């Protein structure tokens, strides 16, 4: 049955009134998740729309504003979703953000037990799913064994748009706990600017010096931003036994494609 809303008496059909095969949830149950469009997947997360607009219509509107680019959607915060889209409250915005965060963590979780890092490209591939879309700065450490196999990774600090504070004691306490032989430190620049600041260089030197005292090598320091990265080793700011990526520009382009 058609329902009418508004002065223009616009025709509107709720999802529950659709044929079963057209309803996202029923399609998921009968045919599997792979047959669902991105619009339908987002509609399932939203669960409901608002008067005059179904969850699927709301999903279409959000994705259209993002140019149907999930990377753009991933950079939206809860406040932006709630402010820009009538019908998206705290629960719906939280659901979208949670789903995006799970998608970020999945590559790291599946690769971590067997992942070895031998270059800046390897390090970027490992950490990019976590850092590349953030709107605030975070500082992470990857802990490696003697064979450059990943033992663990951990966020050391989180800050605002302009920076974050690093406690080197916390960094090496964890490294000693997991018996790491080497570390790679990474932080992101939400602005997308990749060239290190003077503070970035000073912190890197302090970490390197502290590592020498406890016999833990600093293999590299990466700055992630705008779908690319900067390596202190590749650009000869940090001396390391780590494998240098000579064609860093082409590697960055490949990473961002």
For 179-223, the pLDDT digits (tens) are 999 999 999 998 888 889 898 999 999 999 999 999 999 999 999
pTM recorded for the entire structure: 0.56
Contact between 139 and 164 (Cβ < 8 Å): yes
- The closest of 221, 165, 224 to 194, measured between CA atoms, is 224
For residue 8, what is the enclosing H or E element?
Answer: none
Kindly report, residue by residue over 44-62, the tens digit of the pLDDT. 999 888 888 888 899 999 9
CATH code matching the domain that covers 115-256, chosen among 3.40.190.10, 3.40.50.300, 3.30.365.10, 3.40.140.10: 3.40.140.10
| Sequence spans of domains, the chain | 3-105, 115-256
Residue of 37 and 22 predicted with greater confidence: 37
Return the structure tokens found at 246. Answer: 């000579």
13 contacts: CB under 8 Å, gap ≥ 6? 2, 3, 54
Q: What is the mean pLDDT of residues 118-144?
A: 91
Confidence of residue 254 (pLDDT cuts 50, 70, 90): very low
What's the confidence (pLDDT) of residue 161? 44
Kindly report, residue by residue over 143-164, the tens digit of the pLDDT. 999 999 999 999 998 875 445 6
Pairing assessment for the beta strands 217-225 and 182-188 based on DSSP bridges: parallel
């Amino acid at each position: 049955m058609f329902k009418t809303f508004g002065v223009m008496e616009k025709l509107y059909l709720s999802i529950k009134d659709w044929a079963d095969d057209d309803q996202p949830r029923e399609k998921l149950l009968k045919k599997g998740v792979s047959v669902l469009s991105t619009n339908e997947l987002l509609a399932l997360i939203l669960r409901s729309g608002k008067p005059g607009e179904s969850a699927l219509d709301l999903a279409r509107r959000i994705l259209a504003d993002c140019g149907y680019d999930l990377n753009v959607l991933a950079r939206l915060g809860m406040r932006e979703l709630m402010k820009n889209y009538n019908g998206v409250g705290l629960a719906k915005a939280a659901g979208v953000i949670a789903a995006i965060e799970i998608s970020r963590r999945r590559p790291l979780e599946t690769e971590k037990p067997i992942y070895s890092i031998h270059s800046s490209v390897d390090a970027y591939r490992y950490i990019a799913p976590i850092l590349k879309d953030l709107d605030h700065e975070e500082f992470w450490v990857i802990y490696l064994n003697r064979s450059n196999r990943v033992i663990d990774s951990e966020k050391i600090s989180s800050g605002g748009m302009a920076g974050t504070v690093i406690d080197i004691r916390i960094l090496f306490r964890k490294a000693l706990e997991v018996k790491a032989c080497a570390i790679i430190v990474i932080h992101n620049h939400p602005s997308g600017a990749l060239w290190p600041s003077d503070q970035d260089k000073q912190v890197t030197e302090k970490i390197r010096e502290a590592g020498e005292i406890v016999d833990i090598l600093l293999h590299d320091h990466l700055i992630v931003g705008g779908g690319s990265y900067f390596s202190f080793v590749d650009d000869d700011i940090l001396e390391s036994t780590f494998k240098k990526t000579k064609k860093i520009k082409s590697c960055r382009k490949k990473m961002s494609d």
